[in-house]
Structure 1
Amino acid sequence: MKTKFLVFLLLFLCGNEFATAQKTANTLNLNLDFEQNEKKEKLPDNWFAWGTLPVTKSDLAHSGDIAGKVTSKDGKGNFGCVAYKIPANYEGSYIRLTGYMKIENVRGFAGLMLRIDGNGNTLVFDNMQNKKIEGTLGWKKYTITLPYPDDAENIYIAGILSGKGTAWFDDFVLKIDGKDIQKIKKKEKKVYKASLDTAFDEGSKVTFSELTKTKIADLEVLGKVWGFLKYHHPAIGKGEYNWDYELFRILPTFLNAEVKGERDKILLSWIARLGAVEKCSDCAKTDEKAILKPDMAWMDELNIGSSLKAKLRYIYNNRYQGDHYYIKSVRQVNNPNFINEKPYAKMNYPDAGFRLLTLYRYWNMIHYYFPYKYLTDKDWSTVLKEYIPTFINASTELEYEIAALRLIGDIQDTHAGLWGGNDKFQAILGSNTAPFKVAFVENKLVVTKYYNPEYKEVSKVKIGDVITHINGKTVEEIKKERHDYHPASNEPTKDRNMAKSMLRSPNKEIAITYVSDGKTQQHTLPLYGFRDLNIYAKSNKASYKLLDNNIGYVTLETISVDDISKIKKQFKKTKGIIIDIRNYPAESILYYLGSYFVSEPTEFVKFSRMNEKNPGEFVMTEAYEISKSRSMYKGKLVVLVNEASQSHAEFTAMAFRAGENTTIVGSTTAGADGNVSTIMLPGGLRTSISGIGVYYPDGGETQRIGIVPDVEVKPTIKGIKEGKDEVLEKAIEIILKE
């Protein structure tokens, strides 16, 4: 049986027992037992509050005299944490947090939290939300274990409460590879020359005159040479140069070059200053079977002289093979980890030099490290030149954010939205929205459910009503205007994302025209802040139940590994099982439950992974298997999917598809499969990509295509009005059919 593939996804929220005597005798400097409180403040020394809920110390402790406490009486606060920050000056392969928690009348969830950051990103994270710990419970020990990233910079531990109630936390212990962090010798971090270069921290000092066609072509050459050197030249790979700032050093001279020969001489001189490149004895040739090979065609396609071209080819053939300052492969999963990429977050509106850096940085990351580059509608080799004037001429912060959003959209990856730093764009969309959900059904904007039913009367619209105009514009006009601002792998997912923003506004109300019971009506719709609505409320429904006609139903939205044995026992003699993945799985259960539906080890997936030592090369792995269980399920399996099924949900659907009596029902999924790699860009912009390629065992694509159902069923307006789940109904029909 082949090794199981572990999927690590980045989310976006924020062990021995101690005896009292041990607490008293503890002289180490980390206050993880809460007992140090020399300042006599509301929180013990070095602990701090995160979130919006009240956080204090408490004398209701598990042991000793002090514990941390988070409380919420009305449940309106988002979340609260009693948190502690520790510099990640340690080495290891895994990290484990244990601690004690007591809860009272919790509605929502409470748990420990462990988060590790590096290079401005959250590298690994768990807050026990998927454990759904609520109600009233006495002191109990809890544990979180995560892989320990090589590029960890800061470790955050916390106790978290989200929702209503009270939670107490005490006696935290943090271990790396089984050793107490308070007893591990700190590692000495290597200081790179690149990190000491601060010459352009306040700005690039670069100005651009008229952008002629010739100048744009020259800047395209510079961008591609800059990116090539970044990932191939040994001096840069060793961290001897801040490559962002070296761009700003060469730009003034480069921009003054008038002829091709002079331009090439400047670049050759620039390369020479980096030092000699020694012959490489272990630079392997590209694997002939690689699914994606390094694309150096630009060296021939652009107007580059023979001397410069020869120098670049020499560097490629003798490229850097050591641990790279700017790129590394994430342990076990092999997706790219873009390290030491400064976000320059204080520059809300970066100057023209930094804006050009954004384009250069992103284009080269995609060119060398995006496994699905070949699937984009645009030829990626043309994109850099196209966007040079767009980024240089972006005259406002908003224009800069929109330029970045459009560029990101061109890779057509649902993982690749603009997830942070785009404050101006978000302000245009607004922080208020309708208290009900809308979706595009039969190409119309339809009301599908209320987040807050108490607002039905003032909102007027009913479930199944069709909204035709917003503030005087047709829905079709708004869709066309916003199409490029909602990156996605395919059109159904783009519609999914656009629907979420259609009724957003900076104002407290918008005018809508809608059709209800065949009549066209108009209404001034009141809007509400996101925090005032139950948009992100987590379901607390059971993950499984028995339907009529002896059919089992499982939703992965609230699934737990602990549920698997109960599901197998209760559903063993059912006619069929329906697994609903029109959501995001609460836990990764595909190996535990997938094996229930196969009689022998069954291949279900292949991956393409980057070759860290040969930028641009992606090699296909052998197929991975679902192992068989001791007793296979004898009935039918129907799996439900739609455009909400994304990433790990799609990966899970692939595993169930390998079952011997499986039918996939619903509509095309989001088409964004593969572990996420985060990208930081100047101005604090944060985006990401699918970092590995995911394929069926026969090499069939999933990216952009999604999981194509065996039986396509989409909701209808009529069905929504009648409160039907037509996809679920079709699943039941398939199971009952002899």
Structure 2
Amino acid sequence: MESNNKNNILKPYFLFFMVGLLVLALIDLPPQLAAASPDKQHGNSAENVADISKTDSQQLENLRAFAKLYGYVRYFHPSDEAAAIDWERFAVYGVSQVLKAQNRDELQQQLTELFAAIAPTVQIYPQGSNPPAPEASIQPEDITGLELVAWQHQGVGLGNSNMPFYQSARLNRLNDISPAATVATTVQFVDATAYRGMEIKLVAALKAEGGKANNNAHLLLRVDRPNNQFGAMNYMADRPVTSAQWQSAQINGYVDKDAEKILIGAMLMGQGKAWFGSFQLYARADSEEEWKVVPLTNPLFTGGEVGDPPAGWYVNGKGFQFSTTTVDAFKQGRSLLIASGGVEQLFNAKPAAGELAERALGAGLIARVPLALYSKDGKTLKPANTPELSHLEQAMQSVQLAELTATDSNLRFASVLIAWNIFQHFYPYFDLVDTDWQQALTDALRQAQTDSSEHEFLTTLQRMMVELQDGHGGVGHALQQGRAWFPFSFAKVEGKVVIKAIVETEKAAVCVEQGDILLALDGTNITEAFNEQLDLISGSRQWRTHQALLRLGIAKHGTEAILLLERQGRQLTCNVLRNYLQPVPDQRPAAIESLDDSIYYVDLTRAAMTDIQPKIDELASAEGVIFDLRGYPKGDVHAILQHLSTKPMQSAYFRIPQHIYPDQERMVGYNSTGRWQLSPLQPHFQGKFVFLTDSSAISNTETLLEIVKHYQLAEIVGKPTAGANGNINPFSLPGGYRVNWTGMRVVQQDQSALHLVGIQPTVTVEQTLQGVLVGRDEYLERAIELLK
């Protein structure tokens, strides 16, 4: 079933082509965080500013109680009404209502009325009183023909379509799925560097569930080029497999000379089942050559446990199940099964019928929240006297969310409680961080009340994020645009903040010199100025220090700063413009440079595999190679590790928590299928290697260095890395704020902690004031010593 022609695919399957092409074009690795634009500036009128300072205790208790109930219902109560409500608008509206309550009884009434249409089976009662009998609809006597509906969370699904590994779904609720979700894909990416200018072919076996209309199995092949451009793109639109018998299919394509990745995968279009087996990718330089095998991750689906999603592959498709299977498998081995079904299930565990979560809300109130509801004819059961949801939605229209900014106190309170709940129920590292997250809610609400500007509220959110100690954690807003740096960088050496690297073209224009000690910035003692930055940064001590140095002095472009410096024992004042649009990098050799006849230097933060490939033979024969990972790698440079080993290697597990209970109580397990699988590549490097690193190395860099350390590929020289790994799971808040955080848990392969600890160097290096003064790279010097 070979085909090289993409021009005929429009005719018989036009609709599938358009849907499939969109899906194929959108498949990607998790993107970098994008800045959000702020809402229109909107003043704060007197009537919507609640002064919680006047009745501090009661108002705070009201907000805290609403915040907690909001999270329990939004993420764990499975009613259809709760799934349908606009939760951001409801948060702002709910805040405005609960702040009216003057005592416990009024608060109970407000909460009951607010949630009556959304969660009619939730009960709120005073602490110390006898709880009411559960609503009869939770456990009806006759359950014939009824379906059980309950939430499952793998991480938490926050609408990030490019991060399909984070998912939230209700059992027996295919109607939650959008009409476009009739496509499910399983893919992996291959670094295209070694195959540029070559012909490739993808071969695999596949079959579909027989007798099903609109149930088609497809292979996928796509070549990714820079700037989101695509080369070859084919998914067998003109020849889908519909047979229940195993068939071999093939797609050919060409790898563009600027290609970055090759995507291969499987796709089910429609509702039904499809099986896939024995993926093989080949490449050749011209038609006269023999096809050569391109290494793939887990191509026979033998990695991981039977029944789990395929290890080393990305899966995407809400309402579909992805698993490896031995039933009806290709050649009696293992195959991938993609299946839609009446029961949408992320994993096996689920709340039992009638199971309740009883939680103290504060303010003397208890909430009883059903975690599972029965459904009949596609509607969750509820009491007969339940208010219409439309009445609540009409009342909520008074909240003009698009017109509000953080100058509105109700929006600020709402944003705090929205963010706090996501972390309360789903942040994976509370057992490793020393924080009082309950107090963090109180502190953030108190500060939000006094904030009077978008910038002040940004600071409040940043301070709340600090409590998570998450190196990925941060809050962004469009008001941060237009900032600039000095044309030089800072380092903290021997307890002092010093001038480090100066932009070469600026050296004659600025009055600072390398090695100057900074004593004060704009009249503020440097210790105080540094700590002001440190207090707004989340993560490990080493990461916060690195980030504080980057942010020191950052302000509006073109503004001037006054620096008090110490140089050779005397003090001097220096006026400097903020005129540089990015942080100034350290002074290093060229991205790829021969340091002498026997040692090469490769900066993996500046050299991608496309840059390394032309030098690959020279590097392979060098006596020693120094790889610089002080920072974030450029592209998928993990392929360099495959040249350093003659044996297959794996990364640490990326563990996505699985929850069915609130407050992270009784977590039911992890999805641990995400793991790098690295096969050896030729040419094999023959020499010795050293990797450089420091506290600027985070996330992907730490995955690389953990492999280096676990498999003892090289010495690691420098300082501990940031201690923050795992994919982010960003979300937006009302008012244009964008929040970044780590949604999964990563430990090292020996099961020791990575979070906050980082990858520890095998050879520690401390910078010295004298070294900075004379421009020495003491990390690089130590690496050269080790190789010689």
Q: Report the TM-score range of the alignment, normalised by the length of the smaller protein.
A: 0.5 to 0.7
Who is 1:561 aligned against?
609
2:514 paired with 1:463: yes
What aligned pairs does 1:158-307 form with structure 2 within 5 A after superposition?
206-209=48-51, 210-235=54-79, 239-274=83-118, 281=148, 283=150, 299-300=359-360, 302=362, 305=365
Mapped partners of 2:77, 2:559: distance in 1: 55
Structure 1 gap ranges (5+) = 1-14, 27-87, 97-115, 117-144, 155-199, 323-341
Q: Is the CA contact (8 Å cut-off) linking 2:413 and 2:449 kept in structure 1?
A: yes
Question: What secondary structure does 1:553 align onto?
Answer: strand
**1:315 equivalent among 354, 362, 371:** 371
Give, as a single letter, the amino acid of the residue that structure 2 aligns with 1:560. Answer: A
Q: Verify the 8 A CA contact 1:206 1:252 in the aligned structure 2.
A: yes
- Alignment correspondent of 1:370: 427
Matched residue, 1:697: 749
SS of 2:528's equivalent in the other structure is: helix
- 1:396 aligned onto 2:238: no
Retained in 2: the 8 A contact 1:93–1:148? Answer: no
Q: Distance in 1 between matches of 2:750 and 2:702?
A: 17
How many Å separate the matches in 2 of 1:496 and 1:523? Answer: 25
Distance 1:250 1:420, change over 3 A: closer
1:491 is aligned to 2:491:
no
Checking the alignment, whether the CA contact within 8 Å between 1:544 and 1:553 is kept in structure 2 is yes
The structural deviation recorded for 1:216 is 1.3
Q: Aligned-pair distance for 1:475?
A: 0.9
Mapped pair 1:479 → 2:479: no
**Correspondence 1:436 to 2:488:** yes
Specify the code of the residue in structure 2 equivalent to 1:582.
R
Q: Which residue identity lines up with residue 765 of structure 2 in the other structure?
A: V
Select 2:594's aligned residue among 537, 546, 570.
546
Task: Give the TM-score normalised by structure 1.
Answer: 0.62
For 2:764 and 2:610, how far apart are their aligned partners in 1?
A: 32
Measured after TM superposition, the shift of residue 384 of structure 1 is 1.2
Letter in 2 for 1:398: H
**Structure 2 counterparts to residues 343-354 of structure 1, below 5 A:** 347-354=404-411
Q: Among the aligned pairs, what percent are the same residue?
A: 22
Matches of 1:469 and 1:364, distance apart in 2: 40
Higher relative contact order, structure no. (Cα contacts within 8 Å, ≥ 6 residues apart): 2
CA distance change for structure 1 residues 355 and 16 in 2, over 3 Å: closer, same or farther? farther
How much has 1:266 moved relative to structure 2?
3.7
Query: Does the 8 A contact of 2:511 with 2:574 survive in 1?
Result: no
Deviation of residue 585 (structure 1)?
1.4
Native 8 Å contact 1:626 1:655 kept in 2: no
1:666 equivalent to 2:738? Answer no
CA distance in 2, matches of 1:455, 1:343: 49
Q: Could you say if the C-alpha distance between residues 219 and 318 of structure 1 is closer, same or farther in structure 2, counting changes exceeding 3 Å? A: farther
- Find the counterpart in structure 1 of residue 499 from structure 2: 447
Of 576, 579, 593, the match for 1:526: 576
| C-alpha distance in 2 between matches for 1:522 and 1:596 | 52
Correspondence 1:644 to 2:696? yes
Q: Which moved more, 1:546-555 or 1:440-449?
A: 546-555
Kept in 2, the 8 Å contact 1:469–1:512? The answer is: yes
> Could you tell me how far 1:539 is from its partner in structure 2?
11
Q: 1:634 to 1:204 in 2, by over 3 A?
A: farther
Q: Show the counterpart of 1:127.
A: none
Do the aligned partners of 1:539 and 1:558 also contact (CA within 8 Å) in 2?
Answer: no
Is 2:450 the counterpart of 1:608?
A: no
In the TM superposition, what whole-angstrom CA distance separates every residue of 1:403-450 from its partner, at most 9, and x where no partner exists? 122112222222222222344xx78xxx45432222222221211111
Distance 2:400 2:751 in 1: 37
Q: Which residue of 1 aligns with 2:198?
A: none
Distance verdict in 2 for CA 1:536–1:572, change over 3 Å:
same
Q: TM-score, normalised by structure 2?
A: 0.58
Partners of 2:400 and 2:106 in 1: how far apart?
33
Alpha-carbon distance in structure 2 between the residues aligned to 1:475 and 1:202: 36
Q: Is the 8 A contact 2:767 2:778 kept in 1?
A: yes
Q: Secondary structure at the match of 2:476?
A: coil
- Give the 3 Å change call, closer, same or farther, for CA 250–686 of structure 1 in structure 2: closer
Cα deviations by residue, 1:568-618 (Å, 9 ceiling, x for unpaired): 42233333322111122111121x222223333334301121437666446
User: CA shift at 1:368, angstroms?
Assistant: 2.2
Partner amino acid for 1:599? T
- What is the rounded CA distance, in whole Å, between the counterparts of 2:555 and 2:486 in structure 1? 9
SS in 1 for 2:477: coil
Match of 2:735 among 683, 704, 709: 683
Match of 2:577, as an amino acid? Answer: L
Contact (CA 8 Å) 1:509, 1:525: kept in 2 or not?
yes
* Contact 1:409/1:484, CA 8 A, preserved across alignment: yes
Residues 420 and 686, structure 1, Cα contact 8 Å, conserved in 2: yes
CA shift for structure 1 position 555: 1.2
Show the 5 A alignment for 1:29-68: none
Contact kept in structure 2, 1:595 and 1:627, CA below 8 Å:
yes
- 1:510–1:661 Cα change, 3 Å: closer
2:417 to 343, 346, 360: 360
Aligned counterpart, 1:66:
none
SS of residue in 2 equivalent to 1:299: strand
Q: 1:652 to 1:465 in 2, by over 3 A?
A: same
Report the CA distance shift for 1:265/1:639 in structure 2 as closer, same or farther (over 3 A).
Answer: same
**Deviation of the 1:218 alpha carbon:** 2.8
| Residue in structure 2 matching 1:413, options 464, 470, 474 | 470
Q: Deviations over 1:357-398 (max 9, x none)?
A: 011111011112322233333122332123222112323333
Could you tell me how far apart the structure 2 residues matched to 1:544 and 1:535 are?
22
- Note the alpha carbon deviations across 1:157-203, whole angstroms, 9 max, x for none: xxxxxxxxxxxxxxxxxxxxxxxxxxxxxxxxxxxxxxxxxxx9999
Structure 1 Cα separation of the partners of residues 505 and 710 of structure 2? 44
Higher mean C-alpha displacement, 350-359 vs 379-388: 379-388
User: Partner of 1:712 in structure 2?
Assistant: 764
- Residue 619 of structure 1 corresponds to which residue in structure 2? 670
Partner of 1:677, secondary structure, is coil
